[in-house]
Structure 1
Amino acid sequence: MKNFLSLIMLVFLLFQPPTAEAQQVHVLSEKIQFTGKIDDIQRKSVILQNTSDEKKEYIMKFMRGQIGSSQDISVCIGDTCLDPRKDISKIKVTLEPNEIFTDLYIEFKLGITETKGTFDLHFSNTADLRDVFIIEGVYETFAPKDDEAVNHRDISFGSVYPNPSNRIAQIDYQIKNPNANIKLLINSFIGNPIEELTLSPQQKTVLINVSDFNPGVYFYTLMVNGKNIVTKKLVVKK
């Protein structure tokens, strides 16, 4: 009887479908969300955890979802970025035993039209196809108001927000020409210079600390190679 029960247990274990035990890498990040204006490029971090005591290698098997023709998506491991629509076989992640991996990023260009959708990136263990993990993403692109965006040949430049502001105001931008000399000038209502900021091609947002500004109306001016491109109003309140 004991041998019969042992045989039943063995058969039961052999024919069990893959369960969470087969999944040895977990995605610790929540669903990746990309929300922004037309032509925005955003980069999000994905954190993985290898819960096994063995070194694991995963390769991307396929991508599922709606990605428009004007949108771009890249999977970046460190400084190496690859297009999952073209270079899928080259996208590999190697995890050491019990490692929490933080060097994986998804970069997404939101495209040229208002739209939204989802996508999934599926990875599989090269040594065990049952061992998989999935990165889930959602995106939404919206058009800026007519008075928000400035599209110059050297820079795309938004409007300040929040406005009015009492602590930190910020402006989103994207430099198209990294060789251009681009500055942001802050002036008082009567034209006195308050602050001068240099915009870096490596950044997408400039922050303006207005916590020490007196309440009132200020103006910020975008300068490209010494030329005034646009001047807009910033209101500071307490």
Structure 2
Amino acid sequence: MKNIFVLFTCILLMFPFAAEAQVRVLSENLEFSGKIGTSQRQSLIIQNESNQTKEFQLKFLRGNIGSSQNVKVCIGDKCFDPKKDLSKVKLTLQPNEIFTDLYLDFDLGISEVKGSFDLHFVNIANIRDIFVVEAVYEVFNPVEDETNHRDITLGSVYPNPSYRIAQIDYKFKNPNASAKIAINSFIGNPVAEYQLDPLQNTLVINVADLNPGVYFYTLFIDNKNIVTRKLVVKK
């Protein structure tokens, strides 16, 4: 009976440590997707759900980041290489704070590749208290099938097939031209329409809500049909 009491007491003493891990990553899993030679930044939202101030340090980076890819962890305007500066990546979370100054900068590299990586943050005062940031990436080498119009240059959609995000690069030669991309289903039903901004150079299309299948996207300039190409959506 005495041994059972001692065991029960030990279990109770362990609960505070287990319950202390009250930091959550509110952001969805990070996804970096783009063409060779580009870079992207994704922001993270971290919430300290406890009533204590906590200081976290990046403990390790795990995953299969390629030799041509590079990731940096940024806190505010300071960025660090997690492969070299683990001890420098620290953040302090106030009680009940929602922290929004954490970012990841990712260079997609020079070759087509898919991968994933995790960043593990540990409470300096209690190594049982951790949170993990998960990320995946996919690098594409889009087929160069460029439309060279007098008012605009338009690249092909990538990735194609697309699963969540499709992108089309473009560059205005005449900023006064009105250009748009219209998407239609395989049987010609309108799906979406996007006005191209002369101040931007990439159109990002969310295809996650589209049914799998074949679609067509058309470039219109001043309401004239210039070119139509195929977009394949998969799940």
Mapped contact 2:113–2:138 kept (Cα < 8 A): yes
Given candidates 204, 216, 224, the residue that maps to 1:216 is 224
SS at match of 2:172: strand
Shift of 1:67: 1.1
Given candidates 18, 33, 44, the residue that maps to 1:35 is 33
Mapped contact 1:160–1:234 kept (Cα < 8 A): no
Could you report, residue by residue, the CA deviation over 1:123-178 in whole angstroms, capped at 9, with x for unpaired residues?
1011111110110111111111023599xxxxxx972769xxxxxxx8548xxxxx
Shift of 1:72: 1.0
Structure 1 residue ranges, 4+ long, deviating more than 3 angstroms after superposition: 3-9, 15-19, 170-173, 195-199, 203-207
SS at match of 2:106: strand
Structure 2 residue 173 is matched with structure 1 residue 185: yes
Structure 2 residue 91 is matched with structure 1 residue 93: yes
Mapped contact 1:25–1:48 kept (Cα < 8 A): yes
Q: Which runs of 5+ in 2 are unaligned?
A: 159-166, 180-196, 205-217, 230-235
Structure 2 residue 80 is matched with structure 1 residue 82: yes
Q: Which amino acid aligns with 1:75?
A: V
Structure 1 distance, partners of 2:21, 2:12, is 17
Q: Which amino acid aligns with 1:56?
A: K
RMSD over aligned CA atoms reads 3.7
Q: Which amino acid aligns with 1:194?
A: A
Residue aligning to 1:123: 121
Residue aligning to 1:143: 141
Structure 2 distance, partners of 1:23, 1:139, is 28
Mapped contact 1:55–1:97 kept (Cα < 8 A): yes
Structure 2 residue 18 is matched with structure 1 residue 10: no
Shift of 1:48: 0.4
Could you report, residue by residue, the CA deviation over 1:27-53 in whole angstroms, capped at 9, with x for unpaired residues?
111211111111121111111000111
Q: Which runs of 5+ in 1 are unaligned?
A: 151-156, 163-169, 174-182, 188-192, 219-232
Mapped contact 1:115–1:141 kept (Cα < 8 A): yes
Residue aligning to 1:112: 110
Q: Which amino acid aligns with 2:174?
A: I
Residue aligning to 1:228: none
SS at match of 1:13: helix
Q: Which amino acid aligns with 1:13?
A: L
Given candidates 14, 17, 20, the residue that maps to 1:22 is 20
The alpha-carbon distance between structure 1 residues 14 and 63, as it changes in their structure 2 partners (threshold 3 A), is same
Mapped contact 2:111–2:141 kept (Cα < 8 A): yes
Give the share of equivalent positions with the same residue, in percent.
48
Structure 2 distance, partners of 1:41, 1:149, is 24
Structure 1 distance, partners of 2:224, 2:67, is 45
